[in-house]
Chain A
Amino acid sequence: MLEACAITKCFGATRANDAVDLEISPGEILAIVGENGAGKSTLVKILCGLLKPDSGTLVVDGRPEAFHSVSQAVSVGIAAVHQHFALVPSLTGLENIWLAVGGNRRDLVQRAQKIINRLGLQVPLDQPIHQLPVPFQQQLEILRALVQNCKYLLLDEPTAALGSQDADAVRRLAGSLALSDHAVVLITHKLSDVLECAHRVVVMRQGRIVGNWPIHETNAAAISDAMIGEISIPSNHNCLPNCGRDVVLDVQNVSCSGSAGTAGLTDVSLQVHSGEILGVAGVSGNGQEPLAEVVTGLKSPESGKILFLDHDVTYHSPARRHRLGLAHVPADRRRYGAAGALPVYGNLCLRRYRESALSPKGWIRSRIWKQFATDLMKTVSADWPLDFQTRHLSGGNLQKLILARELDASPRLLVAVYPTRGLDVRAVSQTRRILLQSRRAGGSVLLISEDLRELLDLSDRIIAMSGGRIIGSVEPGQASAARLGQLLGGG
């Protein structure tokens, strides 16, 4: 039995885990579910020795343990398979296992082969990892844990990157592991994983465990209720008078390929109306970022059409779209949003520097630039020194800088991707207020977020994405727990 007693872990002011108690016994499949930031990953990292808890104890098979490393956790039989596999791409499967285990290779092959036969795995041991598809890599990670006699397997989002057939195979594998007296912990977003194969489900919210039921005593609605907590549909949901029906953005049957292991877009169509905030829900990596890139012009779609204010902008450059009134708060604000080495005022002028008001005949007038930047900073009530290097701004301040720049000249549409990710509470509320202000001024927002509460608080309408497709939508006022659970669970 693996027991965690009163585990607490804080990052700064955030309590990622708050007095978490958990028991896992061999032969059981335990699903841990929760929204983003509920503390699931932190808990797994503590269990597998990657993080040390601030307080609380771990008891494995009756012996209290304090791990200083992952290998210590493995030595008592706990192993985790993370979303990003820890395999050397140029080595074969066997070599990767040997790296972790050592010893005689021939014995190792025999042991691995025995496990492969028992569980019916298909992974070849003699091929380099980079030639293997993702499901095989995952099997190899599990195999490596089993070769090291691990009894407790922690699988972090094992089905997130898989198609439905492969996901079924993983669930079956979990089942046969449980039959052979292993304990399997599934950390997952998908309610289908939970309902189909778990024996027990633990729901986490804001670092605490808020539900712990055997699977036959609960159902999807109860689980999503517990995940989200009480829903307060905010007053914002009454559409404002200027929320018209004219279409600002019309995406028609757009498809494009994704990058490195994430979904692209498959036949996505959506419309954003004037004065509305359209929320896009879903676990990240399901096509949200390609959607934002295609809409803002950083990426060209392979098929389909994008209309913005009745212009066909499918192949327009980002600059042309911006001139039409399209603004963009990028997901990776340090990579796309601002040049770190430039002074603050340079980044504030990034969208408008070409205009003759700022640079007559192509000559930079730094006094006008600085005045312009000062005025922009006032709109978000900030007063950074103008010559301050942008890279030294905190995440929240950087986001304010980007918002100030993007919302200047009241854009017709703002594409905001994970606008509050990684920000502290104050910055989050400021950012949300700015977004709502922009809508009040008549602009529309395409809000892409992982945070369901944020989407509920801000959006007039929510659509959900999974595997690069739009899988459903919720109209204002119809947000029921079951519907949201469906959105969260990905179908």
Chain B
Amino acid sequence: MKHLVAAVFALLAALLLGFVVLWILHVPPLDACKGMLALCWARKMDTAAKALVLCLLGTGISVAFRAGFWNVGAEGQLCVGAIAAAGIGLYVAPASLWPAPWLWTALALVAGTLAGAFWCLGPALVRAKWQVSEVVTTLMLVYVAKRLLEYLYLGPWRDPQGYGFPGSAPLSASLHVSLVWIAILTGVGAIICALLVKKTVIGFEMSVLSESRDVARYGGIHVGRCLAIVGMISGGLAGLAGAVQVTGTAGRLISGISVGDGFTAIIIACLAGRHPLGVLIVAPFWAMLKVGAEDLEVSYQIPQAFSTALEGICLLCWLTSVWIGRRWFRRFRGNLT
């Protein structure tokens, strides 16, 4: 409840501040909103795809954050997931796609998930063993993964028939997966994560661990195992998001795979109160903002960076409202006792 109030306040405040920015840029805010919504509707498949990717990423991040594992490198895990899926689709699967195309699609998704999971396992183990901050390691691995992605689609995996445009060859059309399947996958993933976090012993261990490593050790929780599970779930979902982009929307490895969604999802996870199901509510709004921002660029010459700025504003507003809420809550309780 507290989280919900904080999130709503943060969104309203961010919207208000966004209006102020638009007004300074001499853009009528309401018109801009209308334009954004219209564009989202016109490109509803893009919006939905974006929303699903953000859902997957946000779910994984919220699981990590619940355990106090500050995985801020979902972007990198997404990249390696995309690479693994593209590798399966382009180079492992035979041209005939024998025995069945859907099998290879599934394999690509699984490969992407595993790649992301192992990309995040390293930082989790290093944190468990030597208490190296995962904020640093996961973030640095983002750049490793991004450079790897660039190297592949600009170098060895570049499409020979691509007229020199950066990007890998397209995956066979029969490997593509429909948005419906992705939506089902996302929903099931979020529900499993929510159950894990709220209803299982591992979820309890995560909540103790997020509070204090010392208490966890004292209570007999296997800190390394717990962090490894959390890291692999978080990274795996991010990797799946990357694989979904390759097999579902982009259809190949291109620069558009990595546009900072992994960072946006951090804010989404925070706004959702680190609840996997909350992410399902918050992420679509954000997808609309991201897609709609392109309309602002076309119609009003407002750079796309505006949506990034709005993200930042929103995060700050959320942090402020959580802080204010905590103080207010304390005073309220003070009156009670």
Query: In the bound complex, what is the Cα–Cα distance between A296 and B207 (angstroms)?
Result: 23
Query: In the bound complex, what is the Cα–Cα distance between A346 and B199 (angstroms)?
Result: 13
B201 near A336 with CB under 8 A, answer no
Q: Write the B210-227 contact mask toward A (1 if CB under 8 angstroms, else 0).
A: 111011011111100000
Task: State the Cβ distance, B201 to closest chain A Cβ, in Å.
Answer: 5
Task: State the Cβ distance, A368 to closest chain B Cβ, in Å.
Answer: 13
We find that the number of chain B residues with CB closer than 8 angstroms to chain A is 20
B211 near A351 with CB under 8 A, answer no
The reply on A372 being an interface residue by CB < 8 A is: no
Query: In the bound complex, what is the Cα–Cα distance between A359 and B203 (angstroms)?
Result: 12
B211 near A330 with CB under 8 A, answer no
The reply on A150 being an interface residue by CB < 8 A is: no
A-B contacts, CB under 8 A, total = 65
B200 near A362 with CB under 8 A, answer yes
Task: State the Cβ distance, A320 to closest chain B Cβ, in Å.
Answer: 8
- Residues of A contacting B201 with CB < 8 Å? 353-354, 359, 362-364
Interface residues of A in 271-324 (CB under 8 A from B): 296, 298, 317-320, 322
Q: Write the B224-242 contact mask toward A (1 if CB under 8 angstroms, else 0).
A: 0000000000000000000
- Residues of A contacting B219 with CB < 8 Å? 318-319, 350-351
B215 near A338 with CB under 8 A, answer yes
B212 near A339 with CB under 8 A, answer yes
- Residues of A contacting B199 with CB < 8 Å? 363-364
B220 near A339 with CB under 8 A, answer no
The reply on A211 being an interface residue by CB < 8 A is: no
- Residues of A contacting B220 with CB < 8 Å? 317-320, 322, 351
- Residues of A contacting B215 with CB < 8 Å? 335-339, 350
Query: In the bound complex, what is the Cα–Cα distance between A445 and B198 (angstroms)?
Result: 37
Query: In the bound complex, what is the Cα–Cα distance between A296 and B214 (angstroms)?
Result: 13
Main secondary structure of the interface of B (DSSP, over half): helix
Given contacts A335-B212, A342-B208, contact A362 B218 (CB under 8 A): no
Query: In the bound complex, what is the Cα–Cα distance between A56 and B201 (angstroms)?
Result: 58
Number of chain A interface residues as a range: 20 to 34
B214 near A336 with CB under 8 A, answer yes
- Residues of B contacting A354 with CB < 8 Å? 201
Query: In the bound complex, what is the Cα–Cα distance between A322 and B221 (angstroms)?
Result: 12
The reply on A341 being an interface residue by CB < 8 A is: yes
A353 near B204 with CB under 8 A, answer yes
Query: In the bound complex, what is the Cα–Cα distance between A378 and B214 (angstroms)?
Result: 27
Query: In the bound complex, what is the Cα–Cα distance between A429 and B215 (angstroms)?
Result: 26
- Residues of A contacting B22 with CB < 8 Å? none
Task: State the Cβ distance, B28 to closest chain A Cβ, in Å.
Answer: 45
The reply on A328 being an interface residue by CB < 8 A is: yes
Interface residues of B in 184-207 (CB under 8 A from A): 198-204, 207
For B218, give its contact among A337, A346, A363 (CB under 8 Å). A337
A330 near B200 with CB under 8 A, answer no
The reply on A472 being an interface residue by CB < 8 A is: no
The reply on A340 being an interface residue by CB < 8 A is: yes
Q: Which A-chain residue is minimally distant from B207 (CB atoms)? A: A342
Task: State the Cβ distance, A92 to closest chain B Cβ, in Å.
Answer: 31
- Interface hub of A335, A339, A364 (most chain B Cβ within 10 A): A339
B200 near A335 with CB under 8 A, answer no
For B207, give its contact among A320, A322, A330, A346 (CB under 8 Å). A346
Q: Which A-chain residue is minimally distant from B333 (CB atoms)? A: A392
Task: State the Cβ distance, B212 to closest chain A Cβ, in Å.
Answer: 6
Query: In the bound complex, what is the Cα–Cα distance between A318 and B219 (angstroms)?
Result: 7
Query: In the bound complex, what is the Cα–Cα distance between A319 and B220 (angstroms)?
Result: 4
Query: In the bound complex, what is the Cα–Cα distance between A351 and B205 (angstroms)?
Result: 11
- Residues of A contacting B204 with CB < 8 Å? 346, 353, 364
- Residues of A contacting B221 with CB < 8 Å? 319
B217 near A364 with CB under 8 A, answer no
Query: In the bound complex, what is the Cα–Cα distance between A318 and B202 (angstroms)?
Result: 18
- Residues of B contacting A330 with CB < 8 Å? 218
Task: State the Cβ distance, B196 to closest chain A Cβ, in Å.
Answer: 10
Interface residues of A in 164-187 (CB under 8 A from B): none
- Residues of B contacting A320 with CB < 8 Å? 220
Query: In the bound complex, what is the Cα–Cα distance between A351 and B199 (angstroms)?
Result: 18
- Residues of B contacting A335 with CB < 8 Å? 212, 214-215
Query: In the bound complex, what is the Cα–Cα distance between A19 and B217 (angstroms)?
Result: 46
Q: Which B-chain residue is minimally distant from A321 (CB atoms)? A: B220
Given contacts A330-B218, A337-B218, A338-B215, contact A350 B208 (CB under 8 A): yes
Q: Write the A322-361 contact mask toward B (1 if CB under 8 angstroms, else 0).
A: 1000001010000111111110001000110110000100
Given contacts A353-B204, A362-B202, A364-B203, contact A317 B222 (CB under 8 A): yes
Q: Which B-chain residue is minimally distant from A390 (CB atoms)? A: B211
Query: In the bound complex, what is the Cα–Cα distance between A350 and B199 (angstroms)?
Result: 15
A340 near B211 with CB under 8 A, answer yes
Task: State the Cβ distance, B19 to closest chain A Cβ, in Å.
Answer: 36
Q: Which B-chain residue is minimally distant from A405 (CB atoms)? A: B219
B217 near A298 with CB under 8 A, answer yes
A298 near B207 with CB under 8 A, answer no
- Residues of A contacting B222 with CB < 8 Å? 317, 319
Query: In the bound complex, what is the Cα–Cα distance between A370 and B72 (angstroms)?
Result: 35
- Residues of B contacting A341 with CB < 8 Å? 207, 210-211
B208 near A363 with CB under 8 A, answer no
Task: State the Cβ distance, A366 to closest chain B Cβ, in Å.
Answer: 9
Q: Which B-chain residue is minimally distant from A299 (CB atoms)? A: B217
In the complex, 30 of the A-B residue pairs with CB atoms within 8 angstroms, ordered by the A residue number, are A298-B217, A298-B218, A318-B219, A319-B219, A319-B221, A322-B220, A328-B218, A335-B212, A335-B214, A335-B215, A336-B214, A337-B218, A339-B207, A339-B208, A340-B212, A341-B207, A341-B210, A341-B211, A346-B204, A346-B208, A350-B208, A351-B220, A353-B204, A354-B201, A362-B201, A362-B202, A363-B199, A363-B200, A364-B199, A364-B204
Hey, which bits of chain A sit against chain B, CB under 8 A?
Answer: 296, 298, 317-320, 322, 328, 330, 335-342, 346, 350-351, 353-354, 359, 362-364
Q: Which 6 A-B pairs have the closest CB atoms?
A: A319-B220, A339-B211, A350-B219, A336-B218, A339-B215, A362-B201
Interface contacts beyond A318-B220, A341-B210, A362-B202: sample of 17 additional A-B pairs, CB < 8 Å, sorted by A? A298-B217, A317-B222, A318-B219, A319-B219, A319-B222, A322-B220, A328-B218, A337-B215, A339-B207, A341-B207, A342-B207, A350-B219, A359-B200, A359-B201, A362-B201, A363-B199, A363-B200
